[in-house]
Amino acid sequence: MDRMSSLRLFLLPLVCLSLGWPIPMGSLSAQDTAPAQAPVAPSADGSTPPPAAAPMEAAPAAPDAAAPAAVPAPVPDVAPAPSADEAVARAVPVAPVAPVAKTKFPLPARDPAIQEGDYIGHRYAEPNDSGGWGWIKLPTDSWAKGGRWIALEETPGVASAPWRDMGPNPTRTGDQNYEYKMHGYFATYQVYDPHTNEMLDVFILESYETIGPAQPLSIRSGPEDRHGDLRRSGFSSRPRADDY
């Protein structure tokens, strides 16, 4: 290294420090910063040996193989915090509500001498909207000889007229000409039908079983004593069940 280079290396840091500048390392040349080589002594035969090979710079390390992308850890599902009402509902157990039982009414009292039994009933609703339900008879009787025109007495919660159980929108004539197995008994009293000005026998229904649709009967509707003195003007003749 010559004297000028040595002087520059000495003065440049002092100037930078006095002015508050950073020392510019890049201004130094590779020749200035390279270490001085020791003089080569001549060999015995007077020839100068070749200069020593400069040290090899280390090759830059090869970059590592591309590392796999980091997979984010799964985030566990966190249930939302319950509301105040839900927290109270969970903290305070609620007793189950017992189902409300349907009110059942007792059957009308009957005379011990009157025995209940099984009958066959044929539904027929008269077109004049009378209070009669239809005919009823013993299973061994015929309709012509044993058929009895009745008013049906229902007991809420125990037994009701069969047409009330026919679907969500039942109608009073929905079971016209249906036949049923009916269990019950005859009352000791009669009821007055203001539509026909007649007294009707009463059958107290306890249970029934549907037989199904049947052919219209060829017997006259109404009680046995239906006649001109008891009929309204609209009842000019006694209608037959198969006329409608």
Confidence (pLDDT) at 184: 94
86, pLDDT greater than 90: no
**Per-residue pLDDT at 207:** 93
Residue 204's contacts (CB-CB under 8 Å, 6 or more residues apart) are: 107, 108, 110, 153, 155, 184, 185, 186, 187
**Mind listing the pLDDT tens digit for each residue in 174-215?**
999 999 999 999 999 999 999 888 999 999 999 999 999 999
**How confident is the model at residue 52, as a pLDDT?**
55
DSSP class per residue in 223-236: -TT--TTTS-TT-S
pLDDT band at 132 (very low <50, low <70, confident <90, very high): very high
Confidence tier at 99 by pLDDT (50, 70, 90):
low
Name the residue among 221, 138, 236 with its Cα closest to residue 176: 221
| Confidence band of 56 (pLDDT split at 50, 70, 90) | low
> Taking 80 as the threshold, does the pLDDT of residue 73 lie above it?
no
- What's the mean pLDDT when you consider all of the chain? 74
Distance in angstroms (rounded) separating the CA atoms of residues 150 and 124: 10
Half-sphere exposure for 79 (CA within 13 Å, toward CB): 3
Q: Which amino acid is at 231?
A: R
